[in-house]
């Protein structure tokens, strides 16, 4: 629970639920402040971005029927990544979610990941992936307590998963 001083006293903010409290027991509605001055006082104290969703590619190695990305061939370059990460450091970003397409399809993925891992203020790196490009050779590069893999599946049954992702994709993940 984060304590925030306002002109009208302290407000407690639960960063997980996003609820505000007048006291540690008196819950306010989500996103609710009694007046604009109280809200303005609160936002002036925010000095970081909690989570940035960072789309590093539109490429994907799958062709799911519902996806928008499979037809585009766009990657963030190492140079573009350096510029973006410098800005995220200035904005005091705490967490980055790598998204795409399939983030691991970016030809610079492992270099981008290493550059993010080198930022001390980043407490969590989420990789939203279909999981099919993780193998015995690169799994060790994901061995960092800050890395969280979010693997997308459409079903845990091969028949149902194959309806959107194609046969054999579920086997690649498991």
Residues in CB range of 130: below 8 A, 6 or more apart: 60, 61, 62, 102, 151, 152, 165, 169, 173
* pLDDT mean over 122-147: 92
Output the pLDDT for position 71.
61
pTM: 0.70
Domain ranges for the chain, please list them: 2-44, 51-173
Query: Which CATH number fits the domain 51-173, given the four candidates 3.30.390.50, 3.40.50.300, 3.40.50.1970, 3.20.20.70?
Result: 3.20.20.70
* pLDDT mean over 126-143: 91
4 pLDDT exceeds 90? no
Output the pLDDT for position 3.
74
96 pLDDT exceeds 80? yes
3-state secondary structure of 93: coil
């Amino acid at each position: 629970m984060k304590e925030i001083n306002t002109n009208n006293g302290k407000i407690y903010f639960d960063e997980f639920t996003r609820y505000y409290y007048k006291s540690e027991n008196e819950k306010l509605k989500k996103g609710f402040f009694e007046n604009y001055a109280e809200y303005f006082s609160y936002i002036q104290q925010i000095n970081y971005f909690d989570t940035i969703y960072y789309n590093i590619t539109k490429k994907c190695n799958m062709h799911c029927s519902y996806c928008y990305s499979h037809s585009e061939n766009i990657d963030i370059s190492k140079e573009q990544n350096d510029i973006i990460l410098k800005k995220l450091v200035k904005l005091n970003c705490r967490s980055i979610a790598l998204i795409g397409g399939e983030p691991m399809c970016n030809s610079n993925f492992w270099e981008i990941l290493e550059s993010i891992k080198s930022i001390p203020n980043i407490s969590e790196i989420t990789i939203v992936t279909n999981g099919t490009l993780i193998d015995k050779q690169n799994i060790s590069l994901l061995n960092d307590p800050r890395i969280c893999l979010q693997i997308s599946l459409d079903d845990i049954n091969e028949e149902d998963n194959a309806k959107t992702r194609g046969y054999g994709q579920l086997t690649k993940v498991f």
